[in-house]
Amino acid sequence: MPVPTLRSFAPLARPDATRLILGSMPGKRSLAAQQYYAHPHNAFWPIMAAQFGLDASAPYAERCAALTAAGVALWDVLAACTRQSSLDSDIVEASIKANDFVSFLRAHPAIRAIYFNGARAEQSFVRHVLPGLSAAQQMLPRHRLPSTSPAHARMDFATKRDAWQRVLGAF
C-alpha cells in the first residue's frame, strides 16, 4: 500500500509578525484536526501560554489570534512529504517539498528571527530552504529550540518552557 503524501497548513501570520516559529510537518492528529499542534500531549500551546499569556485551553481560533497578535507567525518548513507515522524520523527525504519562504519573508518584512521547533525543522530548513533565500533572508537569526512533541520526552515541560523563553527576545 503506497504511503500518502501529506500536506501542511497555510501559515498563521499577520503582516506585522516579527518572529517565525517553524515546525517540520504536522503530525497525524494535527492533520486530522486541521490545527497546528493538536496532539493533547504536545507542549506547544502550554508553552506559548507561558510565554505570551494566552489561554492554552481557549478555542483554537482564539489561541491563534492571540499568538499572531503577539507578533508570532507559525508555519512548517515542509509543504508536503510522505511519512508512515507522526515521527519526523519517518519523513522520506526524497519526498520533501519545502514551503515558499522567499515569498513569505517578502510578504512579512518585519520578521527578525526564525525559531525551529526541534532539530528536524532546522535541518530541513537548512537543506531545502536556506540555499534559495536572498542574502538578506539568509542572514536572519535562526534558533533551534527543543521539540514540543510528546515524542521528545527526555526533556521535561519546565526545561522546554524555559528554553522557549528565547522567543520573547528583545521584541
Closest Cα partner for 46 from 31, 67, 15?
67
The per-residue pLDDT for range 140-159, each reduced to its tens digit, is 999 999 999 877 678 899 99
Q: Give me the percent of the chain exceeding a pLDDT of 70.
A: 87
Which is more confident, 99 or 154? 99
Q: How far apart are CA 42 and CA 159, in angstroms?
A: 14
Mean pLDDT of all residues in 30-53: 94
> In this predicted structure, what is the pLDDT of residue 25?
86
93: which residues sit within 8 A by CB, 6+ positions away? none
> In this predicted structure, what is the pLDDT of residue 31?
87
Phi and psi for 83 in degrees, rounded to 5? -165, 135
Q: How confident is the model at residue 11 (pLDDT cuts 50, 70, 90)?
A: very high
Q: How confident is the model at residue 42 (pLDDT cuts 50, 70, 90)?
A: very high
Residue type, 95: S
Task: Tell me the pLDDT of the chain averaged across its residues.
Answer: 89
Question: Contact 107/18 with Cβ under 8 angstroms?
Answer: no
Q: Give me the percent of the chain exceeding a pLDDT of 90.
A: 71
Question: Contact 123/22 with Cβ under 8 angstroms?
Answer: no
CATH fold for domain 5-168: Uracil-DNA Glycosylase, subunit E (3.40.470)
User: Is the confidence at residue 70, as pLDDT, over 60?
Assistant: yes
Helices 44-52 and 60-69 cross at an angle (nearest 10°) of: 50
